[in-house]
Amino acid sequence: MRILMVASPIVSLRQPFKGGTEAFVANLANALCKKGHTVDVLCKDADEENEFNILQLDESPLRMKDNITTEEEGQKTVSGRPVCANR
């Protein structure tokens, strides 16, 4: 079976792990690979001895912008409240 696991494009799966989530994702992905599955994990990076494939995004995680709303529209407010640009 082909499996995609999504950690986060900003999460590193290198040891020592920063938390339990990172350890859980890496251990589960490796265990699934050992059972014969093909596992891809979306993450920042991982140790080379892992058996799963790493998928990385080139987009900066600090850049929160989409093609629907411009940054200027996203910053508009009326009386301190945000204004929806698509109304």
Residue range 22-81, pLDDT digits in tens: 999 999 999 999 999 999 999 989 999 999 999 987 665 555 555 545 545 555 555 555
From CA 86, how far away is CA 73, in angstroms rounded?
9
Question: What is the model's pLDDT at position 27?
Answer: 95
CA 31 → CA 9, 14, 15, 35, 63, distances in Å?
Answer: 21, 16, 17, 6, 34
Question: What is the model's pLDDT at position 83?
Answer: 52
Question: What is the model's pLDDT at position 49?
Answer: 92
